[in-house]
Amino acid sequence: MCVLYFAFGAVHPGLDKTAALPHKSCSMSESYLQNLFAERIGGRQYGKSTAIYKFEKIKRAKRAAMTANPGAEIIDLGVGEPDEMAFPEVIEALCHEARKPENRGYADNGDAVLKQAAARYLKRVCSVDNINPDTEVLHSIGSKAALSILPAAFINPGDYVLMTTPGYPVFGTHAKYYGGLVHNLPLTPEKKFLPELDSVPSEILKKAKVLVLNYPNNPTGASATPDFFASVVAFARRNNLVVVHDAAYAALVFEGKPLSFLATPGAKEVGIELHSASKTFNMTGWRCGFVAGNELLVKAYGDVKDNSDSGQFLAIQHAAAYGFDHPAITEAIAAKYSRRMDALVQVLGQAGFQARKPKGSFFLYVKAPRAALTKNGRVEFKSAEDVSQWLITEKLLSTVPWDDAGANLRFSVTFVAKGPEDENRIVEEIGRRLADVKFEFSS
């Protein structure tokens, strides 16, 4: 027990003023603040963990590789954001809107400009009819913000969220903050990286409220199909579930038209869809997108959002609206990624990886090798993380490991390159660095 002793009265002019301060009869080695952290972030143990987050390990390995190889080129195939700025016309739209006095101040839940552009976009690009921009669309400060807000509208302690793994964890993280639980559905190549919905145990389904999906998928790059989305609607109805479809990469497709969950008959009765300007228009950092779908679900999102933020700057919303009204911008971005993907698939295939071009996104997901035969001997890998660390240390190639559903590596085609000629140079360099290695894979 700690006892506080206080000195009362005036301090004598000849005494040190610290003599009037409280003193503890026990050690001050640990602040009382340590006892005040919420259990959702670790409670009394918060800040004491020595575990290192996967992406922090990658950053450290990159720094170590740069230190060990001064002046060498690190080829970053792990970055998960566009490598170029927004198009000039989008930037000009932002500047134009930022000069308008009426756009100053808090945006709250936004005005009609982005809502109407979103409805037009869903109809023109994604073949989604009958979206009411007044009641079925609200802006988001990026999809991550929407995914962090939505659990507050649905999750009570003990409720389950069904999520795919590997995947983007934000909705599940916040569901757990509210006392919710997460049931993971593995994504495997045998099932074309689509979850087996019927594999959810009945006792979990009874407590489940939300199914979270993301197609085209991060990290696998897989795309959904109309038949799969139809089965999702039926599954949601059968089990009284809300469907949240994170469509951040929806428009980055390499063939055909983007596929929206909301284009599925009955989808608007059970769910909502999240769209993002970050990947769609190279507006990463601008933080803007929209949530669309079921009117009641959109309203619930808006009510929680209204108590979470004061809205994105209207000039940014209006610039995003310009983008959604000009889908040719995204088509040009997708064409670049498609070109790069063709080249990367070829060079990785030559190195022994079972690389197949996805139908969309900017991610290429491949099975990780179990060993590498080099001129210095055989190197065994126990996990995808081992492979990723070896690639950055030995070959100066940065990737992202995923060990959630088998050992896999994620390559991204958002590496920095100054045009097609530079793209070819970088891909050829990747091939050169891997040329003296023979990889072994599990059967």
State pLDDT tens for residues 350-402: 999 999 999 999 999 999 999 999 999 999 999 999 999 999 999 999 999 99
Per-residue confidence at 15, pLDDT binned at 50, 70, 90? very low
190 contact partners, CB below 8 Å, separation of at least 6: none
pLDDT at residue 55, as a whole number: 84
* pLDDT value at 247 more than 60: yes
Q: Is the dihedral of CA 65, 66, 71, 73 positive or negative?
A: positive
- pLDDT for 89-106, tens place per residue? 999 999 999 999 999 999
Closest C-alpha to 317, from 146, 107, 96: 107
Backbone angles phi, psi at 317, to 5 degrees: -60, -45
pLDDT at res. 19? 43
pLDDT surpassing 80 at residue 22: no
Cα distance between residue 295 and residue 301, in whole Å: 10
Q: What is the DSSP letter of 11?
A: P
Model confidence at 53: pLDDT above 90? no
Left (φ > 0), alpha (ψ -120 to 50) or beta: where does 221 sit?
left
Residue entry with tokens 């199909």: 225
For position 273, what pLDDT does the model report? 98
Residues 6 or more apart whose CB falls under 8 angstroms from that of 339 comprise: 420, 423
DSSP 352-400: T------SBSSEEEEEPPSEEEETTEEEE-SSHHHHHHHHHHHH-EE-E
Largest CA distance in the chain: 86
Burial of 371 (0-12, 13-18, 19+ CB in 10 A): middle
Cβ distance 90 to 322 under 8 Å?
Answer: yes
241 φ, ψ (degrees, to nearest 5): -115, 150
> Which residues 6+ apart lie within 8 Å of 205 measured at CB?
239
If you average pLDDT over every residue of the chain, what do you get?
93
pLDDT-derived band at 428 (thresholds 50, 70, 90) equals very high
Quote the radius of gyration of the chain (alpha carbons, Å).
25
Residue 23 has pLDDT above 70, yes or no: no
For residues 48-65, give the mean pLDDT. 88
Can you tell me the distance from the alpha carbon of 180 to that of 161, in angstroms, rounded to the nearest whole number? 7
Query: What Å distances lie between residue 324 and 125, 244, 280, 282, 301, CA to CA?
Result: 9, 21, 9, 12, 21
Crossing angle for the helix pair 328-350 and 420-434, to the nearest 10 degrees: 20
Q: What is the pLDDT of residue 4?
A: 47
Task: Report, as an integer, the average pLDDT of 238-247.
Answer: 98
Taking residues 232-238, report their average pLDDT: 98
Q: What is the mean pLDDT of residues 121-146?
A: 97
